[in-house]
């Protein structure tokens, strides 16, 4: 049984597998070499030879327990025909959202546009380096994708003033997102992903009263769908105020926590496996601090099924030697 499965399926507490969000990418010099020659981020994700190479780069350097495919949650709007481009020092910019155009897209068009993501997953999952490791596929949660598609850029702290004005548009788009997320998930699993993570990066933007409609209901549908394909699913509802309520309603196989929550409270409130928590900025300090902070999480969750990870993606300015030290700290715990 692969390491993450021991936690997600068997609730093993005898060890802590480790993988890191954004482990494939920007902090590694070998990735930056590739990126320099490939400035178009979407095209890079769709180059299955290069995205495979990038996905495997951290596995060649560090003793990680899983590969997460080098891709992006915005492959979904891109597959639906919305323009997506990444601007340096700005982030993603999306084109106008045309509901009539998007409503015409069928499964064949969608898969045709992004099928090279699935090719990369197939190549990664069959690589010898992953013989006893997990291959993680992922999607953005419906709410987070809705935010990008309507807001047309990262909301950072605020949504467009009139974001909620067209309820018909929002409900139609949510249905379309859900339909194509299921297609996207199934294709990832069919090509070798044996864990799925759902990233709800902007869950923290919503008021409590709006969570059932925009987070709980659509995410629950997805979680149940992944479970129906016999693959475990991890949810990351970043900066949500009430992790307990989220887990009670949605029942993922594990929940990934951000660094703003108290891990001791999580331990008291939540029975399912936990993942993550450590602030990525700790990797920018020194080895002593890093060991102390990582050990804090390992100690708190020592009798609870726990996958070691960060509370958000690894930062671009992280020293690979510190990353290595972190992985070894977890392995030697």
DSSP string, 200-237: ETTGGGS-GGGHIIIIIHHHHHHHHHHHHTT--EEEEE
pLDDT tens for residues 299-330? 999 999 999 999 999 999 999 999 999 999 99
Contacts of 171 (CB under 8 A, 6+ apart): none
For the segment 113-162, what is each residue's pLDDT rounded down to a tens digit?
999 999 999 999 999 999 999 999 999 999 999 999 999 999 986 788 88
Position 249 scores a pLDDT of 98
274: helix, strand or coil: strand
What digits encode the pLDDT tens for the residues 270-285?
Answer: 999 999 999 999 999 9
The first and second tokens of residue 184, run together, are: 């996207």
Using a 10 angstrom Cβ sphere, with 0-12 exposed, 13-18 middle and 19 or more buried, the burial of residue 51 is: buried
Mean pLDDT, residues 257-264 taken together: 97
Task: Provide the H-helix boundaries in the chain.
Answer: 3-8, 29-37, 41-45, 48-61, 75-79, 99-104, 107-125, 142-151, 167-190, 211, 217-228, 243-250, 263-269, 287-300, 320-331
- Among 211, 219, 222, 102, which residue's Cα sits nearest to residue 150? 102
Q: List, for residues 223-252, the tens digit of each pLDDT value.
A: 999 999 999 999 999 999 999 999 999 999
| CB-based contact 182:222 (threshold 8 Å) | yes
Q: Residues 6 or more apart from 228 whose CB is under 8 A from it? A: none
Query: In this structure, what are the phi and psi dihedrals at residue 85, rounded to the nearest 5 degrees?
Result: -140, 155
Question: What pLDDT is stored for residue 159 in this prediction?
Answer: 86
What are the two backbone dihedrals, phi and then psi, of residue 198, each rounded to the nearest 5 degrees? -110, 115
Specify the pLDDT at position 296.
Answer: 98
Strands 66-68 and 134-140: parallel
Q: What percent of the chain has pLDDT over 70?
A: 100
Give residue 156's pLDDT: 83
Give dist(CA 187, CA 193) in Å, integer: 9
pLDDT greater than 80 at residue 22: yes
pLDDT band of 112, cuts 50, 70, 90? very high
Q: What is the pLDDT of residue 270?
A: 98
Residue 333 has pLDDT above 70, yes or no: yes
- Report the pLDDT averaged over residues 13-21: 98
Residues 147 and 159 sit within 8 Å (Cβ to Cβ): yes
Taking the C-alpha atoms of residue 200 and residue 224, their distance in angstroms, rounded to an integer, is 16
At 137 the three-state DSSP class reads strand
Pair of tokens at residue 82: 């919305």
Residue identified by tokens 């992953």 is 130
Query: Two tokens at 296?
Result: 């804090």
pLDDT digits (tens, 9 = 90+) for 42-71: 999 999 999 999 999 999 999 999 999 999
Domain definitions of the chain by residue range: 3-331
pLDDT at position 143, please? 98
Count of other CB atoms within 10 angstroms of residue 222: 23
In terms of Cβ atoms closer than 10 Å to its own Cβ (0-12, 13-18, 19+), residue 79 is buried
Question: 44, 66, 62: which is closest to 53 by C-alpha?
Answer: 44
Residue showing tokens 């990582």:
294
Q: Coil, helix or strand for 176?
A: helix
The pLDDT score that the predictor gives to residue 161 is: 86
**pLDDT tens for residues 149-201?**
999 999 986 788 889 999 999 999 999 999 999 999 999 999 999 999 999 99
Q: Evaluate whether the domain defined by 3-331 bears CATH number 3.40.190.10.
A: no
Q: Tally Cβ neighbours within 10 Å of residue 186.
A: 17
Q: Are 185 and 137 in contact (CB under 8 A)?
A: yes
């Amino acid at each position: 049984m692969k390491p993450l499965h021991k936690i997600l399926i068997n609730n093993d507490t005898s060890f802590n597998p480790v993988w890191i969000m954004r482990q494939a990418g920007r902090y590694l010099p070998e990735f930056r070499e590739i990126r320099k020659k490939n400035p178009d981020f979407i095209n890079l994700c769709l180059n299955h030879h290069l995205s495979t190479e990038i996905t495997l780069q951290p596995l060649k350097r560090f003793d990680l327990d899983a590969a997460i495919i080098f891709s992006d949650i915005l492959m979904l709007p891109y597959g639906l025909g919305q323009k997506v481009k990444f601007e340096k020092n700005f982030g993603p910019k999306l084109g106008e959202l045309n509901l009539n155009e998007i409503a015409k897209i069928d499964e064949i068009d969608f898969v045709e546009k992004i099928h090279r993501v699935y090719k990369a997953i197939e190549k990664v999952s069959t690589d010898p380096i992953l013989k006893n490791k997990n291959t993680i596929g992922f999607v953005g949660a419906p709410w987070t994708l809705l935010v990008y598609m309507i807001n047309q850029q990262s909301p950072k702290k605020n949504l467009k003033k009139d974001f909620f004005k067209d309820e018909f548009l929002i409900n139609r788009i949510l249905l379309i997102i859900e339909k194509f997320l299921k297609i996207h998930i199934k294709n990832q699993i069919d090509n070798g992903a044996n864990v799925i993570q759902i990233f709800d990066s902007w869950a923290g933007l919503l008021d409590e009263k709006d969570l059932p409609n925009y987070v709980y209901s659509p995410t629950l549908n997805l979680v149940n769908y992944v479970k129906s394909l016999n693959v475990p699913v991890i949810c990351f509802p970043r900066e949500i105020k009430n992790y307990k309520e989220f887990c009670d309603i949605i029942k993922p196989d594990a929940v990934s926590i951000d660094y703003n929550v108290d891990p001791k409270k999580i331990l008291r409130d939540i029975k399912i496996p936990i993942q993550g928590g450590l602030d990525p900025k700790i990797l920018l300090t020194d080895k002593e601090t890093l060991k102390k902070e990582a050990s804090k999480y390992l100690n708190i969750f020592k009798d609870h099924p726990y996958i070691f990870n960060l509370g958000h993606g690894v930062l671009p300015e992280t020293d690979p030697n510190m990353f290595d030290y972190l992985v070894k700290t977890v392995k030697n715990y």
